[in-house]
Amino acid sequence: MNEKKQSGKKRLFLLVLVAFGIVLWITFTNLNRIALRHTLDETIGFVKIRLEQYETDAANDRVKSLVRLLDKTVSLGNEMTLKEGFGTQDLDSFAEEQRLTGALVLDENLNVVMQTTKGGNAMPLWELPRCQKQLSAVCRAAGVPFMVVTQMLDSMCTRAVPTRAEVSDIYNAVLDGASSLMLTGETAAGQYPVQAMEFLVRTANTAL
């Protein structure tokens, strides 16, 4: 009888020990999961903060560039006001001093009165996208409508389908806030004027 009681106590003790072990295992497993989740949350939070900081820094750089450009515009206006008979040579000198690739002087109707470009009428092609973006930003900031023209779909003068670069250029021009886009040679002398206009309209609409 005593042996049965002792055997029952041993079994009960073993069951309690096993149950205790299971509880410990579950506890530590949950702790590991919580710790892992906490680490994951911290990592995701850190990445989000860095991304937001990068976006802020990039935006600040763009704002600073616009402020510098607006300051130079004010300086040009002051020089034109103070110097009697301000002409193209004066504009060339101003652009050289300010390290500008070019400058336009517009009247109240936005007609070009005077202009200058560094190295003639051209700039390195790799600088053109940046220049176009800057001009677009200045026009938007001033509330002035602007148009993007020339060679928008130049390949369609002889081909029925444009290049990917051309449709991307149209799309980006709309995103930059262009009030209008214009085709010239594509419709005036090109072989596919209707198709060119269709590609222009459809591509522009996808950006709206």
Q: What is the mean pLDDT of the chain?
A: 77
Say if residue 103's pLDDT is above 60. Answer: yes
147 within 8 A of 180, measured Cβ to Cβ: yes
Report residue 176's pLDDT band, with 50, 70 and 90 as the boundaries: very high
Q: Which residues contact 144 (CB under 8 A, 6 or more apart)?
A: 110
Q: What is the pLDDT of residue 204?
A: 93
- Summarize pLDDT for 58-101 with one digit per residue, the tens: 666 666 777 777 788 888 888 888 888 888 888 888 888 888 77
pLDDT-derived band at 122 (thresholds 50, 70, 90) equals low
